[in-house]
Amino acid sequence: MTHYLVTGGAGFIGSNLTAELAAQGHRVRVLDNFSTGKRDNLSDLGDQIELIDGDVTILEDVRRAVEGVEVVFHEAAVPSVPKSVNDPLGSNRATVDGTLHVLVAARDASARRVIFASSSSIYGDQDPELAKVETMASQPISPYGVAKMAAEQYCRVFYRVYGLETVALRYFNVFGPRQDPQSMYAAVIPRFVMALLNQQPLTIYGDGEQTRDFTYVGNVVQGNLLAANAPVEQVGGEVFNLAAGGQTSLNTLADMLQEITGSNVSPIYDQPRAGDIKHSRADIGKARERMGYEPSISMLEGLRRTVEWYRNHV
């Protein structure tokens, strides 16, 4: 029996999760349409994975992937706020329709649990000085955040109505190896790292004082594994912040990466981007209490590992 399915398993977070499951000796099935994921991300896993080239927006693809699976890690999405602003229909199709397909297929196949990759975008820009806590109202300011919020509600309802165990994990600015620096929608850390490694100036949108709870991907993988195995009475139908619990400005991030890379190219400042949140920091107390989550890799160590990976692979 294939115990684990990772949707979007060739993507950045999905491939790191797939690699860890394989390293633990599990046989893993991956469903990916390779719109943003890369086959190279899975190339060293050999016959430990079963790869299905398919799409979560096609229900029959999802049914085929979920068959015989115990736990689904649902990572597939269009992971970009700016892209959702440009294409809200595509963002909704991938995130809302895709998640509903996963839940229906998992219910019908008698899977035990679905772990959903949600997002801090759900909180929006409310109370910028406060750490985001799960009891806060959802006030997204981008189509991406709205889609993640709707998908979370589907997860909650499927637990309450059908008894399918669901856990939603709200990721905060995840970074690390295998994150694509080439896309026009690339996240800030891979963009900064590649610019510095190539002795090119960084581009910072806004004044650089906006802050993020940057979270190394290894901590996110750990949180997913805990969510898959925690007692259902602790996590069933619940949402959890998954982050480092810290706060770093983009200007400070640029300074840290300049020190790690040895580059001293000065940043260029541009206009703020639509849909961007000014401050984001997570309260991770609930994940600590219910799942035993504790981020074990610091941001600085994560940045060092990330820079080293880009030096060797890009």
The residues that are catalytic are 144
195 Cβ neighbours under 8 A, 6+ residues apart: 201, 202, 203, 265
**Measured distance CA(143)–CA(91) in Å, rounded:** 7
